[in-house]
Structure 1
Amino acid sequence: MKKFLSIILSLLFLLFSSNVDARKRKHHHHRIVKKYIQIAERMPVPPRIVEGVCGIDVSHYQGTIDWDKVTHYENNPIKFVYVKATEGSNIKDECYERNLTLAKEKGLLVGSYHYFTSRSSAEEQFENFKQTANKERQDLIPVVDIEECRYWTSDVFHKNLQVFLNEVEAHYGKKPVIYTYASFYNHYLVDRYKDYKIFIAQYGEGNPELSDGNNWHIWQFTRRGRIDGIRGNVDVNAINPGCDNKDILLNNQPDAKESVEKKELVPNPVPVPVS
């Protein structure tokens, strides 16, 4: 009996010892994997390069901006700014006047944008934008931000949007730029509005591609830009180097035109992190 118990205990000891060694090996392996993951996360990610004039767009979400410090994104000089003016029929961005005034004083080319909603008529929305974004203070063609179509049918949406676009063109003298996400464009706007310049938002790998083959004029390539003078994240944009940069000017002011022509000769490389 004692001999039998001795054999059992020996087998249990061997089994337990092997399990302990296996657990040790497993834990050691996990520590090594975790170590290399941490090292990899600290390594700089190779950037993609987009050649184009660099700019930003801002609203009250950025809070109080210190415009004296807003000069560069990474190593790229910031040349233009789009400022949110209005939303729908009655919302005026609380930071619009301050941002517009100080950005112009900084010498940046400045334009205004309206967030188009499906909760009020095109006429009401245009009146709100017109009363807020003074034509004489705009350097750049206005932008219409289109991201939703929740309360209208497709036909009603396009009818109202076209009315708004026509009103902006009639008042400001040029067709507005259409801003939207690539996914929204390909779902709602595809094969339409080809006479308008497209300001496309797309993040991550790859340049924007619109399913109807339409070209984009401005690319919002990140919404997580970090810029001195701005707390938190900010949208950063680049003008398509294949487009004429003067096309976004509202009026061909001599100073602004000369400034943009100089930018065309030496396009700024815009590093875009792969994410």
Structure 2
Amino acid sequence: MRRTHFKLTAALVAAPTLLLGAGALTAAPAHAATARNGVCETGEFCLYYNSNEAGSLSDFSTSISDYGATQPSCYDFKGPGNGKGLCVKNNAASVWNRTGKTVTVYYNSGYAGASQKFASGAKGNLNSTLKNNNASHRIGAAPASVHGIDVSDNNGTMNWASQYSSGVRFAYVKATEGSTWTDPTYSRNYKGARNAGMIRGAYHFANPAGASGKVQADWFINHGGAWKADGYTLPGALDVEGTCYSKTPAAMVSWIKAFVAEYKAREGRTPVIYTNRSWWQDCTGNSTAFHSSALWFAHPGTLGTLPGGWGKQTIWQYAVTNNLDQDRFNGSAAALKSFANNS
């Protein structure tokens, strides 16, 4: 999600963590183990630096969507032997699966790209594609989800047919910012996503230091943010991130409430709210006043704890790949269509 000349805020780039909040897409470990101690215990999945389960190992009791690539924030090899202290990402050669469930190792972060499965109890070498090219792993079966992206003028000209071929099935397209700016690529992207076969919607980048929430909601609706129950138009989304715009938490909550109320009054749908945990805590006081809005949660890597008491995320922005924001809808393709249609 990007404002003009704005990239994902530094607050989003959190160090990998084993804490997982409500709605997390990770599987529970089969048995209790001492996590991250360099010993491959019952209930853990272990990656080894060398082939044939040799060298230093890194032990995990949860799925990891991105190992991280640099110290000190990456997951590293903990056990004694060759490779100790190096980041696990793109450095593993073999595995031992002691979790009691099938584990899938992936070439890309976010459980994407080429993959290799290891049955419960299996030991083995990563194949020629995955050896030293491992970025994530999932313990157990993947929950239902749908791959999406979000774009703005920062992404230039999009090849929507290529995105669809790669598995992208929905998109959010930036339409407006503040009360005077419109994205010059909005129309092309909005039509391109739909013509490629995707469900798509529009988002508004908030500027709470400017016009009121009501005025910005009207600007958004009048310039691409309208919704209709046609099965392929997502409800409009309000993107709140960056700074607190010199507002108190109470004033920020009031601003967001005004935007949400106006959008719902005109469109008959509550807008989606896009945010990250740090911003929501700092700028709204971790408000719990917006549970009627679907949460689009920005948190690269692991899902983490959701803000504001939301019980689940509807969409998770989990990574940025080649300057393109990657998203997951929390449910099946049929559920995504129902969400679009408000049915």
Check whether TM > 0.5: yes
Could you say which residue in structure 2 is the equivalent of 1:26?
none
Q: Which residue of 2 aligns with 1:142?
A: 236
1:69 alignment counterpart: 162
Between 1 and 2, higher relative CO (CA 8 Å, sep ≥ 6) is seen in: 1
Q: Distance in 2 between matches of 1:116 and 1:153?
A: 16
Aligned residues: 210
Q: Distance in 2 between matches of 1:204 and 1:106?
A: 28
Q: Partner amino acid for 1:146? A: V
Q: 1:59: which partner in 2?
A: 152
Q: Which stretches in structure 1 are left out of the alignment for 5+ residues? A: 1-31, 225-231, 253-275
Change (3 A) 1:165 1:222: same
1:182 lines up with 2:277 in the alignment: yes
One-letter amino acid matched to 1:66: N
Question: Which of residues 117, 123, 136 is equivalent to 1:46?
Answer: 136
1:131 to 222, 228, 231: 222
TM-score, normalising length: structure 2: 0.55
SS of residue matched to 1:174: coil
CA contact (8 A) 1:54 1:236 kept: yes
Deviation at 1:206, TM superposition (A): 4.5
What TM-score, normalized by structure 1, do the two folds share? 0.67
Structure 2 counterpart of 1:63, one-letter code? G
Matched, 1:170 2:261: no
Equivalences for residues 199-238 of structure 1 within 5 A:
199-210=296-307, 212=309, 214-224=311-321, 232-238=322-328
RMSD: 2.9
Q: CA deviation at 1:136?
A: 6.2
Q: Which has the higher helix share?
A: 1
Which range is displaced more, 212-221 or 60-69? 212-221
Distance 1:110 1:213, change over 3 A: closer
Larger Rg: 1
Cα offset, 1:194, TM superposition: 1.5
Residues 146 and 328, structure 2, Cα contact 8 Å, conserved in 1: yes
Output the CA distance in 1 between the equivalents of 2:237 and 2:308: 22
**Correspondence 1:159 to 2:290:** no
Deviations 1:156-207 (Å, cap 9, x if unpaired)?
Answer: 2111210110111111111111110122234424322122111101112345
Contact 1:139 1:251 in 2 (8 A): no
Distance 1:149 1:39, change over 3 A: closer
- Answer yes or no: is the 8 Å Cα contact 1:208–1:219 preserved in 2: no
Gaps of 5+ in 2: 1-81, 93-131
Runs of 4+ in 1 over 6 A off after TM superposition: 36-39
